[in-house]
Amino acid sequence: MNESTELRNIHTYTNKGMRPVTTQSNKLYIQGNRSPLWKRGFALSVSLITVAILLASLFAIIPSAQAKEPPRHSIESTFPESFQNKSPNSPVETAQEIYSEATPMTTTVLFEENFESEPCQVPTVTLTNWDVLVGSVDVIGSGCKFDFVPGNGKYLDMDGTSVPCTNAIIQTKSSFTLTPGLYQVQFSLSGSRRDDANTIEVRFGDGTLFNESFTMDRDFPQTTFTRTLSVTTPTTGKITFEHQSLVGDCEGILLFSVKLSKGSSLLGPMTQGGDSFCPITDASSADPTVGGPISPRNGNLNYSETDLVIPVSGCRLEFQRTYISEARSVYTDTLGYGWTHNYAMRLDSTNTMLSDTLELQLPNGSRVPFFDNGDGTYTPYAGVTADLVQIGSTYVITGFNQKVYTFDAQGLLLEKADPYGNVITFTYNLNDQLIQAGQGSRTLSYAYDGLGRLATVTDNLSRTVFLEYDAVNGDLTTVTDTLGLATTYEYSGTTHLLTKVTDPSGTVLEETAYDNEGRAVQQWDGAGNLLVEIDYSIANSRVVTENGVVMTYTYDTRNTLVGIQYACTDGTAGCQANSNIAYDGNFKQDNVVDLNGNPTSLSWNPGGSNLEYVNDALGNETFLSYDSTNNLTQTVDARGISSSYFYANASFPTFLTRMTDGLGNSTLYTPTTLADGVPGLLKQQEDPNGKITSYSYNDFGQMSQTVVAAGTAEAITSTYGYDAIGRLTTTTQTSAAESRTSLNVYDNGNRLIA
Percent of the chain with pLDDT over 90: 33
pLDDT of residue 58: 37
| Residue pair 49/73 in contact by the 8 Å Cβ criterion | no
The CATH homologous superfamily of the domain defined by 110-264: Galactose-binding domain-like (2.60.120.260)
As a whole number, mean pLDDT of residues 17-22 equals: 26
As a whole number, mean pLDDT of residues 273-279 equals: 33
505: which residues sit within 8 A by CB, 6+ positions away?
none
**SS percent in the chain: helix, strand, coil, step 5:** 5, 45, 50
Is 315's pLDDT higher than 80?
no
pLDDT of residue 531: 87
pLDDT of residue 552: 84
18: which residues sit within 8 A by CB, 6+ positions away?
99, 285, 366, 368, 381, 382, 383, 384, 587
| Residue pair 380/97 in contact by the 8 Å Cβ criterion | no
pLDDT of residue 252: 85
> Where residue 283 falls among pLDDT bands split at 50, 70, 90?
very low
User: Is the previous residue joined to 70 through a cis bond, with omega within 30 degrees of 0?
Assistant: yes
Distance, CA of 584 to CA of 257 (rounded, Å)? 40
pLDDT of residue 567: 67
3-state secondary structure 606-675: CCCCCEEEEECCCCCEEEEEECCCCCEEEEECCCCCEEEEECCCCCCCCCCCEEECCCCCEEEEEECCHH
Best-predicted range by mean pLDDT (97-101, 154-158, 235-239) = 154-158
Distance, CA of 299 to CA of 513 (rounded, Å)? 10
Task: Give the H/E segment covering residue 379.
Answer: strand 377-380
Distances (CA, A) of 110 to 5, 107, 384, 724: 44, 9, 37, 33
pLDDT of residue 459: 93
Question: In 492-538, at which residue ranges do the beta strands (DSSP E only) sit?
Answer: 498-502, 508-514, 520-525, 530-535
| Residue pair 567/561 in contact by the 8 Å Cβ criterion | no
Task: Quick: pLDDT tens for 125-142.
Answer: 999 999 998 888 999 998
Neighbours of 111 (CB within 10 A): 15
- Better-scored residue on pLDDT, 71 or 448: 448
- What phi and psi values does residue 325 have, to the nearest 5 degrees? -65, -35
pLDDT of residue 629: 84
The closest alpha carbon to 53, from 657, 564, 583, belongs to 583
Is 64's pLDDT higher than 60?
no
Q: Annotate 272-325 with DSSP letters as a single string.
A: -S--TTSSTT----S---BTTTB-TTT--BEEEEEEEEEEETTEEEEEEEEEEG
> Where residue 651 falls among pLDDT bands split at 50, 70, 90?
confident
- Better-scored residue on pLDDT, 453 or 52: 453
- Coil, helix or strand at residue 24: coil
Task: Quick: pLDDT tens for 240-253.
Answer: 999 876 555 677 89
pLDDT of residue 161: 66
pLDDT of residue 456: 98
Distance, CA of 137 to CA of 187 (rounded, Å)? 17
- Better-scored residue on pLDDT, 265 or 157: 157
Residue burial 501-510, b: 16+ Cβ < 10 Å; e: rest: bbeeeeebeb
Domain boundaries defined on the chain: 110-264
Task: Quick: pLDDT tens for 471-530.
Answer: 999 999 999 998 899 999 999 999 999 999 999 999 999 999 999 999 999 999 888 888
Percent of the chain with pLDDT over 70: 76
As a whole number, mean pLDDT of residues 622-633 equals: 89
- Better-scored residue on pLDDT, 392 or 676: 392
Distance, CA of 82 to CA of 225 (rounded, Å)? 11
Is 388's pLDDT higher than 90?
yes
DSSP at 59: G
| Residue pair 210/165 in contact by the 8 Å Cβ criterion | no
- Better-scored residue on pLDDT, 78 or 712: 712
> Helices (H), strands (E): how many in the chain?
2, 55
Q: Annotate 424-473 with DSSP letters as a single string.
A: EEEEE-TTS-EEEEEETTEEEEEEE-TTS-EEEEEETT--EEEEEE-TTT
Task: Quick: pLDDT tens for 699-748.
Answer: 878 889 989 888 898 889 999 998 887 788 898 989 888 888 988 888 77
Question: In 518-597, at which residue ranges do the beta strands (DSSP E only) sit?
Answer: 520-525, 530-535, 541-546, 549-555, 561-566, 577-583, 589-593
Task: Quick: pLDDT tens for 409-433.
Answer: 999 999 999 888 889 999 999 999 9
Distance, CA of 571 to CA of 240 (rounded, Å)? 46
5: which residues sit within 8 A by CB, 6+ positions away?
none
- Mean of the per-residue pLDDT values of the chain: 76
Radius of gyration of the chain (CA): 26
Residues in the chain: 754
As a whole number, mean pLDDT of residues 318-333 equals: 92
Task: Quick: pLDDT tens for 210-241.
Answer: 888 787 877 777 888 877 676 655 678 899 99
